[in-house]
A and B are shown apart, each in its own frame.
Chain A
């Protein structure tokens, strides 16, 4: 890997160079009722819109590669004949400025399913290939458990990655394009001292994780505890509202809806992200529901993330960003759920 450093004040220059493209990044959305800042990813118009000191964003970055609703195709209908038009809805590249490791890792996980070799999804790939990602280091929030999930640092899936060393940024460069941009702002080779500093920053970060999830043998424990009482207790609280999946950077389940225009001459097909916690997730025609109880649906979410995905890809589908737990009005958080299923309240 190539490493570079550049003084902090050059960041805006880097931004301006990139800003001939559409820019997306963390921005301040307002204050909550206690005066705490609320951040989310959105399109940026100026460098000042960028909130680089952001903590967690409410929503993840997934909508830029996997929109909540997306038109998959449209149809022209002419009696018994018809024509289908497929449009993957991506027309220009996007620069994502300031993505934390968990979100980068989330995209890497999505790649496994959506860009993997069984029926790759062009809607996703088209967008994913056209995102230039500037990663950014972070400091752990109380809800973060990425350290436990092994996603607290990103090894790939970005173009460059910035670590804040006080007066300068330490940059990991992964793509030639990123290299070209950095040469335009005249970045330098890092010195020995920079290396040292970089390692210190990371070591400090590692010490600051307050929440942990024990993942040892989790796949097996989930099987052993398939009938655990804990599931019912969490199920009782669950609102079956799907908030957890919507804010989750890796939840990708969806449903498809076909619509016919009022003039009966055109139709379209819309994919909308769904959630396994919603009542109709496993309902089939005729009305049979394979998971009618809140608890079995909730359990399935954990099964898919922490067992099924591990089985298929040798890593979990959870990046430990803590968003679902933060957003869940019923206070259902993965660390607590997993601990209780393990039998440690």
Chain B
């Protein structure tokens, strides 16, 4: 029958609109495995996730600040910032807080469980653009998860940057993440300041808000306006305070970077759930410079 229309099989036919072999194609994912799980605090765990196929693993590259979608069948799929250094390619670390269905179930699975991984998605912290400049890396709470990737990247390329200050605050000592690495980060050429809002008996370090440390740092600074970049990760009220302080101190808004969070179902600019005003967090973000954030309606 001539009048029967030709069926166009986009998945298998020559009209290969859809590149099946690309794991980032819509609804596809890399097969990956949880190779290790470390408990960091009561609610956060660090997951080492490795892409199963060694070839794809080396091909998987990302920039600090980008995120992946992680999937468990029947449980869910959710976005997470990559927490490890970009040199490790498809063998990544995610620092995840048990907050809902997916994240809570994830905290119960064993090593060796298969997961679906897609990404990397989204914009990144422009660490190359920051070469030669002083850096302020500021994290509050779980904000250290997205910050750890640029942080490690900076440490690995320490000589390319000027002065580096890391400021990290948590509510109390129990909630501090990556404590086992703090000593590593506290190098002669790095200023690491850790503060908690509320100390406990064992706590020897600083107590108080992160903005107090920042105030001291700003006072030491000579030329914030021209020689400094900042990456600020944390809850909106925290980065807003920090960024406003820095702005007042003269740091241009477009030299500060933040990572925003919105509800997401696809990570690929399709589900429309992550829009801020009318900007997609998954494609146009999650990393934005502060100037753009200030110009986005309902961003904070």
Q: Measuring CB to CB, which residues of chain A are less than 8 angstroms from any residue of chain B?
A: 17-18, 20-21, 72-73, 75, 77, 80-82, 84, 86, 88, 91-93, 95, 113-115, 118-123, 125-126, 129-130, 132, 177, 181, 184, 223, 226, 252-256, 258-260, 267-269, 274, 276, 281-286, 290-291, 296, 300, 303-304, 307-309, 311-312
B294 at the interface (CB under 8 A from A): no
CA distance A124 to B242 in the complex (A): 43
B270 at the interface (CB under 8 A from A): yes
Task: Specify which chain B residues have a CB less than 8 angstroms from the CB of A123 in the assembled complex.
Answer: 26-27
Residue of A126, A285, A303, A308 near B10 (CB, 8 A) is: A126
Nearest CB of A to B221, in Å: 34
In which size bucket is the chain B interface? 35 or more
Q: A310 — nearest CB in chain B belongs to which residue?
A: B278
User: Which interface residue of B8, B73, B114, B277 has the most chain A CB atoms within 10 A?
Assistant: B73
Task: Specify which chain B residues have a CB less than 8 angstroms from the CB of A86 in the assembled complex.
Answer: 27-28
Task: Specify which chain B residues have a CB less than 8 angstroms from the CB of A184 in the assembled complex.
Answer: 3
Is the contact region of chain A dominated by helix, strand, or loop, or is it mixed?
mixed
B85 at the interface (CB under 8 A from A): no
User: Which interface residue of A80, A95, A113, A177 has the most chain B CB atoms within 10 A?
Assistant: A80
Do the beta carbons of B268 and A119 come within 8 Å of each other? yes
If A120-B17, A125-B18, A254-B273 are given as contacts, then 19 extra A-B residue pairs at C-beta distance below 8 Å, sorted by A number, are: A17-B3, A20-B3, A21-B3, A72-B27, A84-B29, A86-B28, A93-B8, A95-B5, A114-B270, A121-B26, A122-B18, A126-B8, A252-B272, A254-B270, A256-B265, A276-B272, A282-B263, A300-B277, A303-B278
Do the beta carbons of A260 and B74 come within 8 Å of each other? yes
Do the beta carbons of B73 and A84 come within 8 Å of each other? yes
Residue of A252, A284, A307 near B261 (CB, 8 A) is: A284
CA distance A177 to B2 in the complex (A): 11
Do the beta carbons of A113 and B4 come within 8 Å of each other? no
Do the beta carbons of A21 and B73 come within 8 Å of each other? no
B271 at the interface (CB under 8 A from A): yes
27 pairs, CB–CB < 8 Å, chain A vs chain B: A75-B73, A80-B113, A80-B114, A86-B28, A88-B10, A93-B8, A114-B270, A118-B268, A118-B269, A119-B268, A120-B17, A122-B10, A123-B26, A123-B27, A125-B18, A126-B9, A254-B265, A254-B273, A255-B271, A255-B273, A267-B73, A267-B74, A268-B74, A283-B263, A290-B263, A290-B298, A300-B277
Residue of B15, B103, B273 near A281 (CB, 8 A) is: B273
Q: B103 — nearest CB in chain A belongs to which residue?
A: A285
Do the beta carbons of B28 and A308 come within 8 Å of each other? no
Do the beta carbons of A125 and B10 come within 8 Å of each other? yes
B134 at the interface (CB under 8 A from A): no
Do the beta carbons of A308 and B73 come within 8 Å of each other? no
Do the beta carbons of A118 and B283 come within 8 Å of each other? yes
Tell whether A286 pairs with B100 under 8 Å between CB atoms, given A80-B114, A122-B26, A129-B8.
Answer: yes
CA distance A226 to B272 in the complex (A): 20
B186 at the interface (CB under 8 A from A): no
Task: Specify which chain A residues have a CB less than 8 angstroms from the CB of B73 in the assembled complex.
Answer: 75, 77, 82, 84, 258, 267, 269
Do the beta carbons of B5 and A285 come within 8 Å of each other? no
CA distance A261 to B97 in the complex (A): 27
Nearest CB of B to A43, in Å: 16
Nearest CB of A to B119, in Å: 11
Task: Specify which chain B residues have a CB less than 8 angstroms from the CB of A72 in the assembled complex.
Answer: 27
Do the beta carbons of B7 and A91 come within 8 Å of each other? yes
The 8 closest A-B pairs by CB, nearest first: A308-B278, A267-B74, A285-B100, A75-B73, A253-B272, A119-B268, A260-B74, A93-B5
CA distance A129 to B9 in the complex (A): 9
Task: Specify which chain B residues have a CB less than 8 angstroms from the CB of A81 in the assembled complex.
Answer: 114
Q: B121 — nearest CB in chain A belongs to which residue?
A: A119
B279 at the interface (CB under 8 A from A): yes
Do the beta carbons of B112 and A80 come within 8 Å of each other? yes
CA distance A95 to B4 in the complex (A): 10
Tell whether A303 pairs with B277 under 8 Å between CB atoms, given A121-B26, A122-B18.
Answer: yes
